[in-house]
A and B are shown apart, each in its own frame.
Chain A
Amino acid sequence: MTQSSDLQRRAFLTGAAAAATGWLASSGNSLAGPPLQVPVWTREQGAAIVSPPYGVPSRFEDGIVRRPRATPPIPTAASSGTPLQHLHGIITPAGLHYERHHAGVPAIDPDHHRLVVHGLVERPLVLSMDDLLRFPSVSRIHFLECSGNTATWNSGNPKWTVQDTHGLLSCSEWTGVSLVTILGEVGLKPGAKWILAEGADAAAMSRSIPIEIALDDAILAYAQNGERLRPEQGYPLRLFLPGIEGNMSIKWLRRLKVGDQPFQSREETSKYTDLMPDGTARQFTFTMEAKSVITSPSGGHQLRGPGFYEIKGFAWSGRGSIKHVDVSIDGGTTWRTAELQEPVQSKCLTRFRLPWDWDGGPTLLQSRATDSTGYRQPTKQQLITARGLNSNYHFNAVYGWQVGEGGAVTHVV
């Protein structure tokens, strides 16, 4: 706290000095501006209630939307990223939650949707949405991240924003039925070790899930951030596996089949596997390991001049909670402890903050997270040494943004 106060005082003094030398005069920080006017919105009635009946963001925020990194050749089998640089707190608005669909978003009538649970069970069940809403419910806040997020081992574009580099990451309060509750209803038979989860979309997307993960903290989610799921997030029902790569949280969930071994679907053999330099591939790399990113300032931002800024970012780990975040304001030469903002929860985005007094010179801003298991986010070179360059998934290296002499912030390859 003392360190923080000192910094703020120094930032203020530096800012005053900068103003005196004219650095900030053109950016609205001079001592007196023109007299304030009483604006038109104060002189007339605003909009009536229920206009619109379902609220939407201010029209002045209409640039804050999901975007694909590039125009996808097949828009139904593509992804769009969350604008993390524009978010506050840890919750992602449902309408900005990232998308990754393999065959588009189905329009499912919940009255006709069913969940089938069968295979190595005592009592196979067919459940309607009405049935599922009657079971005891749970609500928990967790991040969801695509295993292909930040697949930037050796590439990139200086113009990339954090939405481009880390946008396949979001965080919501998820509400539904604990999967353990439903597995208790059907009764697992001896030998039950894996569960195939299958979607009702045009890909009939399927993944095999080890029973340890299913019995841990998995949710059959029907709601997100207080409302029923958005269609893009699996309406009316999705699986949610906290801390696990996003594609396994099967959306539009229609079927769970219990078996004694993995089913070896296309998604868990030819797609979500990590190719090593010797030509072998790691399979079933489920957990999203500790990671962090600075969201402010970040790619695309333009700093207005030397002086005070608060460095802000997200840290998260699929193995537990965030214990510590280091931030470097000098390209990794020295590291300082960032403040973690409560709540700090397991498998959840955690906000970190560090006061920063920018001296106006070029520098590299970086962050690195340590989680409750003691694991610390590795460097890019450590990961390349361990995995080579062909392992497309689970890239979680220390990440940085370059601040240029004039204050332009850019992506660093």
Chain B
Amino acid sequence: MSFNRTQAAFAIAVFLLVGQAEAQTVGRYKLGHVADPGEIAAWDIDVRGDGTGLPAGSGNIEQGKAIFAESCAACHGDKGQGAIGDILVGGKGTLNTAKPIKTIGSFWPYAPTLYDYVSRAMPFNAPQSLTPSQVYAVTAYLLFLNGILPESAKLDASSLSRIEMPNRGGFTSDPRPDVPPPAASIQR
């Protein structure tokens, strides 16, 4: 970014005021049309890390196991151990070793993100083909394989949002530049 934090805060403040002032009229260029929630519902699919956006529906581990075997195992292995697709299971305790294994159980900080990704991009050869309940079921199965849910568990919007992932506290913000600038004597 080409300006500092204070400048950015000022720019945003000005921008918000301008935005509010303009909102009382129509857009300056009067192009496009106002989006109706019903019109864009099929595209409005995002689910936030805290579960905001999760739809109605529910699924259990047994259902998820069957869907996984049919639609996911060919790429990820029958137990999520990985093949041409990512490793999805295991890896706990490896993040600080020479060979870290980043999986849902070892690395992902938010459980609803799993729902979001499966619903938007999986199965790889037929994305966005699963119903919300099927996505809940696959999500439940993957969390079960990672030891995060018991075999009897069933997932819906509320229960998925409440899950605390093992690596929830494992992320920090960007501290760069992380290598100090050269000493003044050799700086050009």
Contacts and interface: CB of A to CB of B under 8 A. Distances in A.
Interface size bracket, B side:
35 or more
A216 B2 contact: yes
A283 B102 contact: no
Contacts of A386: 178-179
Contacts of B2: 216-217, 319-320, 346
B188 A126 contact: no
Interface string B9-53: 001100110111011001111011111000110011110111000
A390 B121 contact: no
A contact residues, range: 35 or more
B23 A187 contact: yes
A284 B173 contact: yes
A211 B8 CA distance: 9
B12 A284 contact: no
Interface in B135-167: none
Contacts of A389: 98
A341 interface: no
A263 B173 contact: no
A342 B12 CA distance: 34
B5 to A, nearest CB: 8
Nearest to B13: A190
B110 A264 contact: yes
Interface string B37-76: 0011001111011100000000000000000000000000
Interface string A249-287: 000001101010111111001100101111111111111
8 contacts: A116-B43, A123-B23, A134-B29, A266-B114, A269-B171, A270-B108, A282-B171, A285-B174
Q: Lowest 6 A-B CB distances belong to which pairs?
A: A264-B49, A122-B23, A279-B96, A279-B95, A187-B19, A378-B179
Interface of A: 73-74, 77, 102-103, 116-118, 121-128, 131, 134-135, 180, 183-190, 192, 196, 198, 202-206, 211-213, 215-217, 243, 254-255, 257, 259, 261-266, 269-270, 273, 275-287, 289, 319-320, 323-324, 326, 337, 346, 370, 374-376, 378, 382-383, 386-387, 389-390, 394
